């Protein structure tokens, strides 16, 4: 949009709202304590400046946290009537809403995601998960798992950096509703909102030990999931780490759910509502800088409309505003870390090397920070790395198909299976395709819609188990 007579003036949200502190401590047994590990340095990915220091856990801290969680499980939480647990969950949900602005700004500072997404998507959906599960806490007998389903015990939960508070809510809300206690390890690069969540647990008067937060790197996560005092492991993150976890818990009797990578197909048939399909494609791959495990990273377009759709898509992508995550007009923020930026850059280069056609949005990028221009590869073939591997960045691979059967075959030709999208005006084709797509979620004429009542989870290397809705309760109940 460089030839426009109208430049939007910066509209930054104040970073003071985040109440950023010079240091943060871990949360064990209801108290903030220093961890035995090397402190983590939290970086603002949009500026590369040091935000704050966070104390991290050592193995002995994992031990303490699991013991605290066990005590809380046995003596207070699992014996408490469901309607009492529900009160705490409702209180937490309301406190998230009350502190929504603070959490949104902090999330954008720590993660690099645009404030309009943290404000309008992440934080409200996190609160919604607590509200939803608060409603289940006293109705577990009606969930279809027997008249009196029991909790599992202590849940070890490890979450990724792409939706730090939202993934926390997906994990903690059902666990607590079902009567489990938790030890959660937030991602190394994005621990801050989890520690503010710990403050919220204190505000809500949650009994000590019910929720414990242990910041740290992969070694802390590994120690946590391998700890013998843990009854349940829930992990969201990369397929590679998911496999390691599966190996580590194998034979231990621990219950496991994994929500891993994806390479979702977004299929556009020739009778699709074209302008809305373009929006759905943009939302599918550029939402949260493409740091979405269910991102629609493979666009499958029917050949007869491919050129036209791509032209419309490029026009639309040019209008995406990339830059300061705290600017309310930013559409695409910063890549979360230098490491991730390197990975995206490397995979995109493989696209060039293997003969795909790269198109990059001409939008200006900030001089500092980790940024990657929205990128669309056309002429992509199934055999290319950019069609097979998860890029986890704002990079779309476009493939074409001629017949519906070919679309399904290509869409399913992936080791993953988390989500898929269908765009057509024909209802019967939606049903036909949805039955054949091997993916946990199939969206029709929309993409990236999340709701606490809808189960979410994968097939094949995208993991197993479901989160959300009635089905999601199973992962935290002895059934």
Q: Is 1 in the site for other proteins (CB under 8 A)?
A: yes
Candidates 6-14, 70-78, 91-99, 240-248 — which segment interacts with other proteins by CB under 8 A? Answer: 6-14
Query: Is 283 in contact with 394 (CB distance < 8 Å)?
Result: no
State the minimum distance, in angstroms, from the CB of residue 107 to other proteins. Answer: 17
What is the distance between the alpha carbons of residues 101 and 66, in angstroms, rounded to a whole number? Answer: 32
Query: Is 275 in contact with 312 (CB distance < 8 Å)?
Result: yes
Region 287-316 residues binding other proteins, contact defined as CB under 8 A = 304-305, 308, 315
What is the distance between the alpha carbons of residues 271 and 302, in angstroms, rounded to a whole number? Answer: 9
Rg, the chain, Cα only: 22
Q: Is 244 in the site for other proteins (CB under 8 A)?
A: no
Q: Is 276 in the site for other proteins (CB under 8 A)?
A: yes
CA 312 to chain centre: 28
Q: Is 427 in the site for other proteins (CB under 8 A)?
A: no
Of 259, 389, 467, 474, which is the active-site residue? 259
Residue 12, classed as helix, strand or coil, is: strand
Residue 279 or 478 with smaller CB distance to other proteins: 279
State the minimum distance, in angstroms, from the CB of residue 23 to other proteins. Answer: 32
Q: Is 271 in the site for other proteins (CB under 8 A)?
A: yes
Please pick, from the candidates 274, 434, 471, 479, the single residue that binds other proteins as defined by CB under 8 A: 274
What does the CA dihedral 85, 88, 91, 93 come to, rounded to 10 degrees? -70
State the minimum distance, in angstroms, from the CB of residue 286 to other proteins. Answer: 13
Residue 6 or 383 with smaller CB distance to other proteins: 6
- Smallest CA-to-CA distance from 93 within 151, 41, 134 is with 134
Start-end of H helices in 287-400: 303-318, 338-353, 385-388
Residue 209, classed as helix, strand or coil, is: coil
Q: Is 81 in the site for other proteins (CB under 8 A)?
A: no
Question: How many residues form the binding site for other proteins (CB under 8 A)?
Answer: 31
Task: Give just the sign of the alpha carbon dihedral 182, 187, 189, 190.
Answer: negative
- Smallest CA-to-CA distance from 419 within 446, 381, 396, 401 is with 446
Tokens of 184: 């959660």
Q: Is 322 in the site for other proteins (CB under 8 A)?
A: no
Region 437-466 residues binding other proteins, contact defined as CB under 8 A = 445-446
Give yes or no: 84 in active site: no
Kindly state the greatest CA–CA separation across the chain: 66
Q: Is 272 in the site for other proteins (CB under 8 A)?
A: yes
Please pick, from the candidates 42, 52, 111, 116, the single residue that binds other proteins as defined by CB under 8 A: 116
Residue 276 or 345 with smaller CB distance to other proteins: 276
Enumerate the active-site residues.
259
Q: Which positions lie near other proteins, rule CB under 8 A? A: 1, 3-11, 116, 120, 270-276, 279-280, 304-305, 308, 315, 319, 328-329, 425, 445-446
């Amino acid at each position: 949009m460089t030839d426009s007579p109208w430049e939007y003036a910066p509209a930054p949200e104040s970073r003071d709202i985040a109440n950023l502190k010079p240091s943060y401590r871990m949360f064990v047994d209801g108290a903030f304590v220093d961890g035995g590990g090397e402190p983590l340095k939290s970086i603002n990915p949009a500026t590369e400046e040091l935000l704050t220091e966070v104390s991290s856990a050592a193995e002995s801290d994992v031990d303490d946290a699991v013991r605290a969680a066990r005590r809380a499980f046995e003596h207070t939480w699992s014996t408490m009537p469901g309607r009492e647990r529900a009160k705490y969950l409702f209180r937490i949900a309301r406190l998230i809403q009350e502190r929504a602005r603070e959490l949104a700004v902090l999330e954008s500072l720590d993660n690099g995601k645009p404030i309009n997404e943290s404000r309008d998507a992440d934080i409200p959906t996190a609160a919604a998960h607590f509200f939803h599960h608060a409603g289940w806490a006293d109705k577990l007998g009606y969930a279809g798992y027997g008249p009196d389903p029991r909790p599992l015990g202590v849940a070890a939960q490890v979450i990724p950096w792409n939706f730090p508070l939202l993934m926390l809510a997906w994990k903690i809300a059902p666990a607590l509703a079902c009567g489990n206690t938790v030890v959660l390890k937030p991602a190394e690069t994005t621990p801050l909102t989890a520690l503010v969540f710990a403050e919220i647990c204190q505000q809500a008067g949650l009994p000590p030990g019910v929720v414990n937060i242990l910041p740290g790197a992969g070694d802390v996560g590994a120690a946590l999931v391998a700890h013998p005092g843990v009854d349940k492991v829930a992990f969201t993150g990369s397929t590679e780490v998911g496999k390691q976890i599966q190996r580590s818990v194998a034979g231990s009797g621990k219950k496991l759910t994994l929500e891993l990578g994806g390479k979702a197909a977004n299929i556009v048939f020739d009778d699709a509502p074209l302008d809305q399909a373009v929006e759905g494609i943009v939302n599918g791959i550029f939402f949260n800088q493409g740091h979405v495990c269910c991102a629609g990273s493979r666009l499958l377009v029917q050949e007869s409309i491919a050129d036209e759709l791509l032209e419309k898509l490029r026009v639309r992508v040019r209008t995406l505003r990339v830059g300061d995550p705290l600017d309310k007009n930013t559409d695409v923020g910063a890549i979360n870390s230098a490491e991730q930026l390197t990975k995206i850059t490397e995979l995109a280069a493989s696209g060039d090397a293997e003969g795909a056609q790269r198109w990059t949005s001409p939008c200006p990028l900030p001089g500092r920070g980790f940024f990657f221009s929205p990128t669309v590869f056309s002429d992509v073939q199934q055999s290319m790395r950019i069609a097979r591997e998860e890029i986890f960045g704002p990079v779309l691979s476009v493939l074409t198909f001629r017949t519906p059967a070919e679309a399904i075959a290509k869409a399913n030709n992936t080791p993953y299976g988390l989500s898929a999208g269908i765009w057509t005006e024909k209802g019967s084709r939606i049903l036909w395709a949805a039955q054949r797509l091997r993916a946990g979620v199939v969206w029709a004429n929309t993409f990236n819609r999340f709701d606490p009542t809808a189960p979410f989870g994968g097939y094949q290397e995208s993991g197993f188990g479901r989160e959300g809705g009635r089905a999601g309760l199973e992962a935290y109940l002895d059934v």
